[in-house]
Structure 1
């Protein structure tokens, strides 16, 4: 009953448009005061500070900066040109190009919103110029951007690793195959809809265009090779990789002469604002997580699940259902911070691998990025597509189904995600 009351108040605050960070922290404060335990509020500053001082979390601002530098420095345009030369002639045309370019860009930014806001504008304009309807184009852009945090590097994986103490390097490798499968599923959906919707496609590119576009994009395409290769070989940690990614993104921008010194202050300020917003949520959510443990909510849920005789499959279906519902109301990072302190205690009871669980959770919050009223990718694309949030969300339904099928597949066939880390990394 207490659990329902806590999350009920949290959802009411969110429905009233209270900022996520404030709603999370205020919920814990209200219950401590209501229970006559206001003295425990002395823990608030300590828990907020502790929640943002993990070494792993240093990767987040640098991956955000790397994505913003690439969007400003013209790297995204070269990636899109190369993807168009490769698959522009396939059924679905530029729509397929959008998915492939997002899969490539995923190996650089680790952020769905960065993909949607930066590369997404190039994709959307190209599809409009090719004759796509605005809503169809916007839906493809929004859906393709969700591949970003699944294919490594990934900001959600960094956050998941910081909360659960799971190896971020293993999480990065575990996301690679599901991310590619996710992209292929979207490409199949676009291909199936191409003829009924009359989606145009390009003429097959000449071998010369493929080679020229590859040469232009070569050093950008090497970014994930440097990042993932360096992590798996032990040359640097995921946190150090984020710094290298930022430096490399800046170097590419100046090398291509697309980035100027005058561009750096606004890029740095934008990255700072995004980082501060996320860190504030992390700080208050850490206090909320401590509050749920204090109230013994994880223990109560464990007792209820074991009393019901639940199986691993039952638990996974419960997780899928809960996170899908929360995804309609909460930002993905907030979902991680609220639910993982509870889920991570239950997973061992059902022999759920924590690395694969991280992949499944990340896929689920990507679905949340496409579901209103709090779909972050929807808002990012709507900011330049101007097609209406609800129309855009409706047009995303085929891709939501594709992502959900991949999520269920990964949840119940963990070998899909675990094959790569088990073969490339020692225990």
Structure 2
């Protein structure tokens, strides 16, 4: 009988019904037909909406949106440009570095693409870079957002798998850095091999470098508080996100850029995004209960494990996640497939921290993978550049990112080393 509920779920998604409603509808059908107690629905909704760790999500969103509103994120890019703009593909490298830093504020790929991305693309175009390559670099580098802490998807995974949010954040540090380095290597290869228009800028003096670095320090305060507070144990992830949000407000007052209108706009956008995430978390628990209770997850787990080899199972899992991430939002897929991931982790004796990073990294690549490529779409739309013409450059970045994914998948130490060193896991 499960197939009918699942068919209803798939049909509603194809009909562009919000996924939270699709999950709830199919779960209600299952409960009614099988005589399940609806008290469970209320309990799971209450548990999701009262979870302390999920309070970090609106604060992370607020920090990213507010930093864009007060216009300090561009200082990060300019400072990076002064240091490495004279190298081959220098501004593209600065783009990647700025995205890595901004990832430490927003935890969202789309926030990076739509906010800092417009500044990066304009600067690269003004310097004579191919505009389609500029958009591609921006969209691809925004994929680092959900990996380097803080990460909204890591918060969701920690909530679903009942693992440590701190451990998840620490586990994303090395993979995030590897993503950035691999993209920077590819930029050099692409510029030289494909003769992409990417002129270098004049080498800045040491005085200029330090001057612009000092100017960028206030903008760096957000990620320093977030990452530093979490890694040193001074704050919990939730507390750290709130402190960083307060810092951004104080910073806007100091720079005389604060206004009630701007604050209201930021809070409104934060509320809209947060409500979507919380709705997904709450309905996702119910949907997960349905697919676990019905036996679907057991069936899928046995089918994948029948491959008989851990490496083949992990490759198959990567393929499934990459495929789903091409059509459905990363957070939605993470919530839907969480029971399967936890079952496979238990069967293969893998760390839930490691599996969580694999899953989020896979789904993040879907943000720049056709046919949807939402990060590319947002960047192209925000900058007025052709989506289709930028796509050919964007897909090239899947090469270094997939290499990174495979390293993360098959070398657990890449994700688990930092959490172990800092005592987040044993």
Identify whether the pair has TM-score above 0.5, normalized to the shorter chain: yes
1:23 is matched with which residue?
22
1:114 is matched with which residue?
111
Contact 1:73/1:259, CA 8 A, preserved across alignment: yes
Contact 1:312/1:352, CA 8 A, preserved across alignment: no
The correspondence for 1:98, drawn from 91, 95, 98, is 95
Cα distance, 1:53 vs. partner? 2.1
**Matched residues, number:** 423
1:310 is matched with which residue?
308
1:219 is matched with which residue?
218
Cα distance, 1:229 vs. partner? 2.7
Q: Secondary structure at the match of 1:330?
A: coil
Task: Return the alpha-carbon distance in structure 2 between the equivalents of residues 60 and 273 of structure 1.
Answer: 12
Task: Return the alpha-carbon distance in structure 2 between the equivalents of residues 165 and 193 of structure 1.
Answer: 42
Cα deviation digits, residues 26-69 of structure 1 (max 9, x gap): 23334445xx2365556444433333321111100000001011
| Greater mean deviation of Cα atoms: 10-19 or 323-332 | 10-19
| Greater mean deviation of Cα atoms: 203-212 or 134-143 | 134-143
Contact 1:69/1:267, CA 8 A, preserved across alignment: yes
Task: Return the alpha-carbon distance in structure 2 between the equivalents of residues 170 and 289 of structure 1.
Answer: 23
Task: Return the alpha-carbon distance in structure 2 between the equivalents of residues 267 and 112 of structure 1.
Answer: 18
Consecutive unaligned residues of structure 1, counting only runs of 5 or more, are none
1:335 is matched with which residue?
333
1:20-419 correspondence to structure 2 within 5 Å: 20-32=19-31, 36-37=33-34, 40=37, 43-195=40-192, 196-306=195-305, 308=306, 310-419=308-417
Task: Return the alpha-carbon distance in structure 2 between the equivalents of residues 124 and 83 of structure 1.
Answer: 14
Consecutive unaligned residues of structure 2, counting only runs of 5 or more, are none
| Greater mean deviation of Cα atoms: 184-193 or 309-318 | 309-318
Cα distance, 1:106 vs. partner? 1.3
Q: 1:10 to 1:116 in 2, by over 3 A?
A: same
Contact 2:41/2:286, CA 8 A, preserved across alignment: yes
Contact 1:327/1:367, CA 8 A, preserved across alignment: yes
Q: 1:395 to 1:19 in 2, by over 3 A?
A: farther
| Greater mean deviation of Cα atoms: 142-151 or 125-134 | 125-134
Q: Secondary structure at the match of 2:207?
A: helix
Task: Return the alpha-carbon distance in structure 2 between the equivalents of residues 203 and 9 of structure 1.
Answer: 59
Task: Return the alpha-carbon distance in structure 2 between the equivalents of residues 83 and 212 of structure 1.
Answer: 12
Cα distance, 1:388 vs. partner? 4.3
| Greater mean deviation of Cα atoms: 223-232 or 276-285 | 223-232
Q: Secondary structure at the match of 2:172?
A: helix
Task: Return the alpha-carbon distance in structure 2 between the equivalents of residues 240 and 381 of structure 1.
Answer: 31
Q: Secondary structure at the match of 2:256?
A: coil
Cα deviation digits, residues 72-99 of structure 1 (max 9, x gap): 1222011111111111111113211111
Task: Return the alpha-carbon distance in structure 2 between the equivalents of residues 276 and 227 of structure 1.
Answer: 22
Q: 1:386 to 1:339 in 2, by over 3 A?
A: same
The list of structure 1 runs, each at least 4 consecutive aligned residues, that deviate by more than 6 angstroms after superposition, is none
2:420 is matched with which residue?
422
Contact 1:116/1:377, CA 8 A, preserved across alignment: yes
Contact 2:307/2:313, CA 8 A, preserved across alignment: no
